[in-house]
Structure 1
Amino acid sequence: MARDLEFGDFTPAEKRRITALTARMVLPRANLTRLRRQVEDIEQQAERRKKK
Structure 2
Amino acid sequence: MASEPRLTAGEKARVAVLVLRMAKRGIGDDRLVGRVYQGDLQRRIDRIVEKAAKREEQQTKRK
Point out the structure with max Rg over C-alpha.
Answer: 2
- Unpaired segments ≥5 residues, structure 2: 30-35, 59-63
In structure 1, the gaps of 5 or more residues are: none
Structure 1's consecutive aligned runs of 4 or more residues displaced over 6 angstroms after TM superposition are none
RMSD, aligned α-carbons? 1.9
What is residue 40 of structure 1 aligned with on the other side? 46
Matched positions, count: 49
TM-score normalised by structure 2 residue count: 0.66
TM-score normalized by the length of structure 1: 0.79
Q: Structure 1 vs Structure 2: percent identity of aligned residues? A: 24
